[in-house]
A = this chain, B = another copy of it.
Amino acid sequence: MKKLIIASTSTVHGSKYLEYILPELKSFFAEVDEILFVPYARAGGLTHDEYTAIAQEGFKKINKKVRGIHTFTDPVVAVQNAGAIFVGGGNTFLLVTMLYNHNLMEVIRRAVLDGTPYLGTSAGSNITGLTMQTTNDMPIVYPPSFKTLGLVPFNINPHYLDPVEGSKHMGETREMRIKEFHKINTQPVVGIREGSWLAVEGDKIILKGDLPARIFECNNAPYELSPGSEVRCK
């Protein structure tokens, strides 16, 4: 049975890396000692080793070992043998390009469908959807496709942001961008606010955290979904 945590962000303001979600991760990863970390999304500043060290620091508090996929000779085998997978945030265009270049997209999908627990934050959450087309990121690299893991039957918009009241900026709000997406695409979009996550067990998808999510369905008005509710968008 597939098991995922799809988190809007790794870090909430004023708190340490993963800290806000550690109680959930402790039970989610109860059965595993080591987690395979995918640092590929990181474009700026940190090396894959440095990014993995941050993930390790976060998981130390619940006694989990983290190993970066870049340290394996064969990343495909690394995924196939992993007890659990964590795909971190960064730039979604870069992440998707790296996953395709290393032939990992289908391999990760298959592993999760076969029951390997999957944690995603930000870009790592974005790719659990049908396509990466509701990312907020800049297209810094041209991926072979926008198609992603399709482990949930909708698209994700992480770091969902409400329109800023009284803003004089004329650029599109997040809601306007998602409406534009729906002029061309039909799948629903789940906007997850920072500090919230989706807990997936088989076909059951529950919104967790303190904040509601915003659900955008093609041809319907967007609506708020309360924490604790099941996501049943169509």
Contact = CB atoms under 8 A, between A and B. Distances in A.
Interface stretch (A52-60, A79-87, A171-179): A171-179
Interface stretch (A64-72, A130-138, A221-229): A130-138
Interface of A: 9-14, 43-44, 90-91, 93-94, 132-142, 145-146, 159, 161, 168-172, 176-181, 183-185, 194
Given A44-B176, A44-B180, A137-B172, 5 more contacts: A12-B170, A13-B169, A138-B181, A140-B183, A161-B171
B140 A139 contact: no
Contacts of A43: 180, 183-184
Counting from the closest, the 4 A-B pairs by CB-CB distance are A13-B168, A43-B180, A159-B171, A138-B177
B9 A181 contact: no
Given A14-B168, A169-B194, A194-B169, A141 B44 contact: no
A133 B139 contact: yes
19 contacts: A10-B170, A11-B170, A12-B170, A14-B168, A43-B183, A44-B183, A90-B180, A94-B180, A134-B138, A135-B138, A135-B139, A136-B138, A136-B171, A138-B181, A140-B180, A140-B181, A140-B183, A142-B145, A171-B194
